[in-house]
Amino acid sequence: MRKINEIFYSLQGEGHHEGYPSVFVRFSGCNLNCSFCDTAHTEGIYMDDDAIIRAINLYSADWVVLTGGEPAMWIDKDFIHLLKRATGKKIAIETNGTLPVPEGIDWVTVSPKSGFEGAGEAPVRVRHANEIKVVDLGQNLDPYFDLPCRGEDTIMYLQPCYVPDEEEFRQNRLNTVRRILADPKWTLSVQLHRYLDIP
Protein backbone atom coordinates (compact mmCIF):
# COMPACT_ATOMS: atom_id res chain seq x y z
CA MET A 1 0.00 0.00 0.00
CA ARG A 2 1.18 3.49 -0.88
CA LYS A 3 -0.18 6.76 0.52
CA ILE A 4 -1.55 8.84 -2.35
CA ASN A 5 -2.70 12.44 -2.08
CA GLU A 6 -4.24 12.55 -5.56
CA ILE A 7 -4.03 11.18 -9.09
CA PHE A 8 -4.97 13.64 -11.81
CA TYR A 9 -4.55 14.35 -15.52
CA SER A 10 -3.18 17.69 -16.71
CA LEU A 11 -0.38 19.35 -18.64
CA GLN A 12 3.12 19.30 -17.21
CA GLY A 13 3.69 22.89 -16.14
CA GLU A 14 7.42 22.88 -15.44
CA GLY A 15 10.76 22.02 -16.93
CA HIS A 16 11.69 20.15 -20.10
CA HIS A 17 8.29 18.48 -20.59
CA GLU A 18 6.27 21.66 -20.09
CA GLY A 19 3.00 21.37 -22.00
CA TYR A 20 3.05 17.55 -22.24
CA PRO A 21 -0.19 15.79 -21.23
CA SER A 22 0.68 13.76 -18.13
CA VAL A 23 -0.91 11.69 -15.39
CA PHE A 24 0.30 12.98 -12.04
CA VAL A 25 0.54 10.65 -9.07
CA ARG A 26 1.01 12.86 -6.02
CA PHE A 27 2.32 10.88 -3.08
CA SER A 28 1.56 12.03 0.44
CA GLY A 29 4.18 13.27 2.86
CA CYS A 30 7.71 14.57 2.61
CA ASN A 31 10.95 14.06 4.52
CA LEU A 32 11.51 17.85 4.50
CA ASN A 33 9.39 20.77 5.69
CA CYS A 34 10.33 23.69 3.43
CA SER A 35 8.78 27.00 4.45
CA PHE A 36 8.00 28.02 0.85
CA CYS A 37 6.38 24.74 -0.24
CA ASP A 38 3.25 25.52 -2.28
CA THR A 39 1.95 21.93 -2.50
CA ALA A 40 -0.74 20.47 -0.26
CA HIS A 41 0.57 16.93 0.14
CA THR A 42 -0.03 15.89 3.75
CA GLU A 43 -3.45 14.31 3.28
CA GLY A 44 -4.08 11.11 1.40
CA ILE A 45 -5.42 7.59 1.28
CA TYR A 46 -3.63 4.27 1.06
CA MET A 47 -4.00 2.62 -2.33
CA ASP A 48 -2.75 -0.73 -3.55
CA ASP A 49 -0.80 -0.96 -6.79
CA ASP A 50 -3.75 -2.30 -8.79
CA ALA A 51 -5.87 0.71 -7.81
CA ILE A 52 -3.07 3.11 -8.72
CA ILE A 53 -2.64 1.45 -12.12
CA ARG A 54 -6.38 1.51 -12.82
CA ALA A 55 -6.47 5.24 -12.05
CA ILE A 56 -3.50 5.92 -14.33
CA ASN A 57 -4.95 3.87 -17.17
CA LEU A 58 -8.07 6.04 -17.29
CA TYR A 59 -5.96 8.52 -19.25
CA SER A 60 -4.13 8.21 -22.56
CA ALA A 61 -1.09 10.39 -21.78
CA ASP A 62 2.37 9.04 -22.62
CA TRP A 63 3.86 10.22 -19.32
CA VAL A 64 3.24 9.42 -15.65
CA VAL A 65 4.78 11.95 -13.25
CA LEU A 66 5.51 10.75 -9.71
CA THR A 67 5.45 13.80 -7.47
CA GLY A 68 4.64 14.82 -3.93
CA GLY A 69 5.53 15.47 -1.27
CA GLU A 70 8.48 13.20 -1.76
CA PRO A 71 7.63 10.22 -3.99
CA ALA A 72 10.95 8.45 -3.29
CA MET A 73 9.59 7.66 0.19
CA TRP A 74 7.00 5.35 -1.37
CA ILE A 75 8.50 3.70 -4.44
CA ASP A 76 10.97 0.96 -5.32
CA LYS A 77 12.33 -0.75 -8.42
CA ASP A 78 9.54 -3.35 -8.49
CA PHE A 79 6.87 -0.64 -8.45
CA ILE A 80 8.52 1.22 -11.34
CA HIS A 81 8.75 -1.96 -13.43
CA LEU A 82 5.12 -2.79 -12.64
CA LEU A 83 3.99 0.71 -13.64
CA LYS A 84 5.81 0.55 -16.95
CA ARG A 85 4.58 -2.94 -17.76
CA ALA A 86 0.96 -2.33 -16.72
CA THR A 87 0.52 1.14 -18.23
CA GLY A 88 2.93 1.23 -21.18
CA LYS A 89 3.80 4.79 -20.18
CA LYS A 90 7.09 6.58 -19.56
CA ILE A 91 7.81 7.43 -15.94
CA ALA A 92 9.10 10.76 -14.62
CA ILE A 93 9.83 11.67 -11.02
CA GLU A 94 10.02 15.03 -9.26
CA THR A 95 12.16 14.62 -6.13
CA ASN A 96 14.13 16.71 -3.67
CA GLY A 97 16.99 14.28 -4.31
CA THR A 98 17.69 13.40 -0.68
CA LEU A 99 16.61 9.76 -1.15
CA PRO A 100 17.83 7.36 -3.84
CA VAL A 101 15.45 6.76 -6.74
CA PRO A 102 15.05 3.29 -8.26
CA GLU A 103 16.30 2.23 -11.66
CA GLY A 104 13.95 2.31 -14.63
CA ILE A 105 12.70 5.89 -14.34
CA ASP A 106 12.80 7.66 -17.71
CA TRP A 107 13.17 11.26 -16.52
CA VAL A 108 14.50 12.48 -13.17
CA THR A 109 13.90 16.03 -11.96
CA VAL A 110 15.81 16.99 -8.83
CA SER A 111 14.70 20.09 -6.97
CA PRO A 112 17.31 20.45 -4.19
CA LYS A 113 16.30 22.13 -0.94
CA SER A 114 19.45 22.07 1.22
CA GLY A 115 19.88 25.22 3.31
CA PHE A 116 16.32 26.46 2.89
CA GLU A 117 14.22 27.23 5.96
CA GLY A 118 12.57 24.02 7.14
CA ALA A 119 14.86 21.81 5.06
CA GLY A 120 18.11 22.10 7.01
CA GLU A 121 21.04 20.23 5.54
CA ALA A 122 19.50 18.02 2.89
CA PRO A 123 22.31 16.52 0.82
CA VAL A 124 21.45 15.21 -2.64
CA ARG A 125 21.82 11.42 -2.92
CA VAL A 126 20.38 10.92 -6.41
CA ARG A 127 23.17 9.92 -8.80
CA HIS A 128 21.87 11.38 -12.05
CA ALA A 129 19.29 14.05 -12.90
CA ASN A 130 17.98 14.86 -16.36
CA GLU A 131 17.11 18.29 -15.01
CA ILE A 132 17.77 20.25 -11.85
CA LYS A 133 15.02 22.69 -10.95
CA VAL A 134 15.84 25.36 -8.38
CA VAL A 135 13.31 27.64 -6.72
CA ASP A 136 14.77 31.15 -6.83
CA LEU A 137 14.89 32.68 -3.36
CA GLY A 138 17.82 34.96 -4.14
CA GLN A 139 20.35 32.37 -2.96
CA ASN A 140 23.85 31.80 -4.33
CA LEU A 141 23.36 29.61 -7.41
CA ASP A 142 26.95 28.44 -7.89
CA PRO A 143 26.73 25.37 -5.60
CA TYR A 144 24.02 23.80 -7.78
CA PHE A 145 26.57 23.21 -10.51
CA ASP A 146 28.56 21.00 -8.11
CA LEU A 147 25.69 18.67 -7.19
CA PRO A 148 26.59 14.98 -7.58
CA CYS A 149 23.53 14.35 -9.76
CA ARG A 150 24.55 16.92 -12.37
CA GLY A 151 25.99 15.54 -15.58
CA GLU A 152 27.06 17.19 -18.82
CA ASP A 153 23.56 16.75 -20.25
CA THR A 154 21.65 17.94 -17.16
CA ILE A 155 19.39 20.94 -17.88
CA MET A 156 19.48 23.65 -15.20
CA TYR A 157 16.14 25.38 -14.51
CA LEU A 158 15.53 28.40 -12.31
CA GLN A 159 11.95 28.94 -11.20
CA PRO A 160 10.45 32.06 -9.59
CA CYS A 161 9.16 31.44 -6.08
CA TYR A 162 5.37 31.50 -6.09
CA VAL A 163 3.62 33.66 -3.50
CA PRO A 164 -0.12 34.44 -3.37
CA ASP A 165 0.43 38.21 -3.53
CA GLU A 166 0.22 39.10 -7.23
CA GLU A 167 2.62 42.05 -7.17
CA GLU A 168 5.21 40.20 -5.11
CA PHE A 169 5.00 37.21 -7.46
CA ARG A 170 5.45 39.55 -10.44
CA GLN A 171 8.60 40.95 -8.84
CA ASN A 172 9.85 37.42 -8.16
CA ARG A 173 9.40 36.54 -11.83
CA LEU A 174 11.24 39.66 -12.99
CA ASN A 175 14.11 39.03 -10.56
CA THR A 176 14.46 35.45 -11.81
CA VAL A 177 14.52 36.60 -15.43
CA ARG A 178 17.26 39.12 -14.58
CA ARG A 179 19.34 36.42 -12.92
CA ILE A 180 19.03 34.11 -15.91
CA LEU A 181 19.96 36.86 -18.35
CA ALA A 182 23.03 37.56 -16.22
CA ASP A 183 23.95 33.86 -16.06
CA PRO A 184 22.70 32.09 -19.21
CA LYS A 185 23.67 28.63 -17.97
CA TRP A 186 20.17 28.69 -16.47
CA THR A 187 16.83 28.21 -18.24
CA LEU A 188 13.50 29.61 -17.03
CA SER A 189 10.82 27.31 -15.64
CA VAL A 190 7.56 29.24 -15.45
CA GLN A 191 4.96 26.93 -13.83
CA LEU A 192 2.71 27.07 -16.89
CA HIS A 193 -0.22 25.62 -14.95
CA ARG A 194 -0.47 28.79 -12.85
CA TYR A 195 -1.02 30.92 -15.95
CA LEU A 196 -3.54 28.49 -17.46
CA ASP A 197 -5.33 28.01 -14.11
CA ILE A 198 -5.18 24.22 -14.35
CA PRO A 199 -4.09 21.64 -11.74
Q: Kindly report whether the peptide bond that precedes residue 69 is cis, defined as omega within 30 degrees of 0.
A: yes
Q: State the catalytic residue, choosing from 27, 30, 136, 149.
A: 30
The yes-or-no answer on residue 169 being catalytic is: no
State yes or no: is 87 an active-site residue: no
Asked about 34 being catalytic, the answer comes back as yes
Q: Please pick, among 17, 67, 70, 94, the residue that the annotation labels catalytic.
A: 94
Active-site pick, 27, 34, 149, 154: 34
Is 81 tagged catalytic?
Answer: no
- The catalytic position among 24, 41, 116, 131 is 24
Among residues 158, 100, 92, the alpha carbon closest in space to that of 128 is found at 100
6, 16, 18, 37: the catalytic one is 37
Query: Torsions phi, psi of 46, nearest 5?
Result: -85, 130
Q: Check 39, 48, 50, 183 and give the catalytic one.
A: 39
Burial track 68-93 (b if 16+ CB lie within 10 A, e otherwise): bbbbbbbbeeebbebbbeebebbbbb
Neighbours of 195 (CB within 10 A): 9
Residue 115, preceding peptide bond in cis (omega within 30° of 0): no
Catalytic residue among 16, 81, 128, 193: 193
Is 193 among the catalytic positions?
yes
CA distance 153 to 88: 26
| Catalytic residue numbers, as ranges | 24, 30, 34, 37-39, 94, 193
